[in-house]
Amino acid sequence: MNKTKKLLLINGPNMNMLGIRQPEIYGSDTLETIEKLTVERAKTLGYECECFQSNYEGAIVEKIHSAYGRVDGIIMNPAAFTHYSYAIADAVSAVALPTIEIHMSDIHSRESFRHNSVILPYCIGQVAGLGKESYGVGVEKLVDHLEGKSYV
């Protein structure tokens, strides 16, 4: 029997406000639309994708913990938690699942406090600045990693 291949998409605080929040930065698509696109992209690559969003740091930590032994990898847009959540960084480190950090905006060209990620050192990489397509590219790069494709 073949094991089902699974990914977990985690979105952090305020991502539930997509479509309303700063459309000049984040576009007009809702989180629901972006989740559907992400699930579809994963499916075309042979993976199921579960979606989760929370505005609460502890809920995200618990979701990461619950992923251990249950999913193959994590796609995460930690949103504001990117810059200061050592709890989320420690959770990603603890479960040791391949994780890719994604951002719709280019965090490196925005306010200086957004330039640093405390989570990235525990991730396989980061995709930023591609709008909603950051999610699809993130899925592709995570699946490439899971399936042993490397880039030099």
Task: Give every CB contact of residue 150 below 8 A, 6+ residues apart in sequence.
Answer: none
Catalytic: which of 26, 47, 122, 135? 26
Sheet with 99-103, side-by-side order of all strands? 48-53, 6-11, 73-77, 99-103, 125-128
Catalytic annotation present for 26 = yes
Q: Are 100 and 125 in contact (CB under 8 A)?
A: yes
Q: E strands within 21-93?
A: 48-53, 73-77
Q: Which of 135, 114, 149, 150 is nearest to 7 (CA)?
A: 135
Catalytic annotation present for 103 = yes
Indicate if the alpha-carbon torsion angle 147, 69, 122, 12 is positive or negative: positive
Catalytic: which of 47, 84, 86, 103? 103
Residues designated catalytic: 26, 103
